[in-house]
Amino acid sequence: MAQAKTSTLLGMDREEFTALVSEAGEPSYRAKQIMEAVYRQRVESLAEISTLPLEFRERLDRDGVTVGAARIENKFVSSDGTVRYLIAFADGQSVETVWMPEGDGGEAGDGSEAGVEAESATSGAALSEKSSPIAALKRGAAQNRVGQGHASRARDNQDRAGQDQSVPANGESGKYPAGKSTRAFGRSTICISSQVGCAVDCQFCLTAVLGMKRNLTAAEIVAQVCAVLKDQQVSPPEDRINLVFMGMGEPFLNYENFVKAARLLVECVGIAERRMTVSTAGIVPRIRDFGGEVIRPKLAISLNASNDALRTRLMPLNKKWNLEMLIAAARDFPLRTREWITFEYVLLGRVNDEPENAREVAELLRGLRCKVNLIALNPGPGIDFETPGEERVAAFQKILRDAGIPAFVRRPRGRDIYAACGQLKRTVEGATSGGHLLRGISGAPEQ
Ligand code: SF4
């Protein structure tokens, strides 16, 4: 048999499966069978692909073809139901992937409600996400769908995880059959990583401390999603799943693999394109390329500063692509009907959260079809900034809204397990918050 382009089935698209079975002299319908098994049933070994003849599976095995499923090495459950997974790949490298039940209320923000939220905001109907009647209606509906909301989901997760909040992987994730879910989810979100570590060096981000290890392949990006779907016993499109590329790494510095992964997630895994958002720190040439992609998730830009001097201090990549270039790319970005660009702004106490900063942001974004997500800094070891008080966050939001810019304060999710925005780093030492102990993970660098 001719060698497949990649030795893992995960990461192959329809054409590659077709080529694989054709070169093996198998009938063409086998391509669909393999695709179903890998992306929908989420098998972890060739042996599990029961629709294929044993002889064909053995031949694939002899040729060094594997499924390429990722392994859940560890998982941490937050008191708010958020689950932070440590997901390991064949070479021993690992990334973090976060599951947020009802995740749209979290700070990552899937962006899927941007149009409606923004409309309600500009019409003066809401000053905060909490007080938005539309958001409240949606939240109510979502909670009805998921039962008792966060508390029950947290308990549910804890029950499955046992008494311990930190659940070492023992292969048990495979005990949950994939396929049609028995539970319905309102607006769950998976936050996935695109690189092991990150080279961008944002000064407020724990991931930056890791430095850059390597890019993830498209297969590894998709494998995170498959592992979490399987562990949570959910399956799109039957279950509504939002996806955000906001975990470790800068997706636009791993552009080809990110684009292929997005296509596989839509075409093979069944996640709706409109439910996917990619966040970039501002890789301007790739923002322009991204606008022309056939399968194109929504765009979020990590802004975090209101002028070049401040942004260069907080995000050194601003030296290369400054605010003028970034905002120009955003203005040129081809938006669909009712689509908005999301700007994320991490508020650092007395650094970028002054009223003057808010007025500068309003000026920068004037006339752009956008919304702003305000995120009060999530604290972490080695991060030398302060979390601003609620009143400063509210004042910042009000200035933006008074200037006609829809602005929302994102609720932190999973802070106690370092799953919140900017906190993703393979955690070594224990940290307690709300009684939740984080266990050490071998191989991770010291904090
Ligand atoms: S915020 Fe994003 S781009 Fe910046 S260092 Fe962290 S992971 Fe990288």
Rounding to the nearest 10 degrees, give the CA dihedral for residues 392, 394, 397, 398: -110
Coil, strand or helix at 1 = coil
Q: Which of the following CATH numbers is that of domain 70-103+169-196+214-267+425-447: 3.40.50.2000, 3.40.50.620, 3.20.20.70, 2.130.10.10?
A: 3.20.20.70
Does the structural domain 14-62 have CATH classification 1.10.3720.10?
no
Ligand 1 pocket test, candidate residues 202, 317, 378, most atoms within 8 A of CB? 202
Cα 198 to averaged position of ligand 1 atoms, centre (Å): 6
- CA-315 nearest atom, ligand 1: 4
The verdict on whether 96 is a catalytic residue reads: yes
Extract the tokens encoding 47: 């042996």
Mean pLDDT by groups of 10 residues along the chain of 447 residues: 65 96 97 98 97 97 95 93 94 94 50 33 32 31 28 29 30 34 66 96 88 96 98 94 95 98 97 96 98 98 98 98 98 97 97 98 98 90 89 98 97 64 48 23 23
Query: Which pLDDT does position 180 carry in this prediction?
Result: 42
- In DSSP terms, which residues pair with 189 in a beta bridge? 100, 242
Cα 96 to averaged position of ligand 1 atoms, centre (Å): 13
**Domains of the chain, residue spans:** 14-62, 70-103+169-196+214-267+425-447, 108-161+272-412
Contact assessment for residue 313 and residue 306, using Cβ atoms and an 8 Å cutoff: no
CATH topology of domain 108-161+272-412: TIM Barrel (3.20.20)
The two domains 14-62 and 108-161+272-412 share their CATH topology (first three levels equal):
no
Ligand 1 pocket test, candidate residues 196, 250, 314, 423, most atoms within 8 A of CB? 250
Query: Which pLDDT does position 4 carry in this prediction?
Result: 41
Tell whether omega for the bond before 406 is within 30 degrees of 0, i.e. cis. no
- CA-206 nearest atom, ligand 1: 6
The residue contributing the CA closest to ligand 1 atom 6 is: 205
Contact assessment for residue 224 and residue 73, using Cβ atoms and an 8 Å cutoff: no
Cα 276 to averaged position of ligand 1 atoms, centre (Å): 18
What is the rounded distance in angstroms from the CA atom of residue 262 to the CA atom of residue 255?
Answer: 10
DSSP codes of every residue in 320-363: TS-HHHHHHHHHHS-PPTT--EEEEEEE-TTTT-SHHHHHHHHH
- CA-247 nearest atom, ligand 1: 7
The residue contributing the CA closest to ligand 1 atom 4 is: 202
Residue 393 phi, psi (nearest 5): -65, -45
Cα 146 to averaged position of ligand 1 atoms, centre (Å): 32
Helix axes 133-146, 114-122, angle to 10 degrees: 150
pLDDT single digits (tens) 140-174: 333 322 222 222 222 233 222 222 233 333 333 32
Which helix (H) or strand (E) is 276 found in, with range?
A: strand 276-280
The verdict on whether 268 is a catalytic residue reads: no
Which of the residues 44, 96, 102, 250 is marked catalytic?
A: 96
Ligand 1 pocket test, candidate residues 95, 196, 205, most atoms within 8 A of CB? 205
* Half-sphere exposure at residue 200, Cβ-oriented, CA atoms within 13 angstroms: 29
253 vs 33, 191, 241, CA distance in Å?
Answer: 34, 17, 25
Query: Which pLDDT does position 111 carry in this prediction?
Result: 37
Which of the residues 198, 205, 268, 421 is marked catalytic?
A: 421
Cα 131 to averaged position of ligand 1 atoms, centre (Å): 30
Contact assessment for residue 330 and residue 373, using Cβ atoms and an 8 Å cutoff: no
Contact assessment for residue 375 and residue 347, using Cβ atoms and an 8 Å cutoff: yes
Cα 248 to averaged position of ligand 1 atoms, centre (Å): 7
Query: Which pLDDT does position 426 carry in this prediction?
Result: 52
- CA-248 nearest atom, ligand 1: 7
Cα 144 to averaged position of ligand 1 atoms, centre (Å): 35
Sheet holding 166-168, edge to edge: 166-168, 71-77, 83-88, 94-100, 188-191, 241-245, 276-280, 298-302, 341-347, 370-376, 407-409
Burial environment of residue 430 by CB neighbours within 10 A (0 to 12, 13 to 18, 19 or more): exposed
Query: Which pLDDT does position 156 carry in this prediction?
Result: 31
Mode of pairing for the β-strands spanning 166-168 and 83-88:
unpaired
* Pocket lining for ligand 1, CB < 6 angstroms: 198, 200-202, 205, 207-208, 248-250, 281, 422
Cα 147 to averaged position of ligand 1 atoms, centre (Å): 35
Ligand 1 pocket test, candidate residues 95, 98, 198, 321, most atoms within 8 A of CB? 198
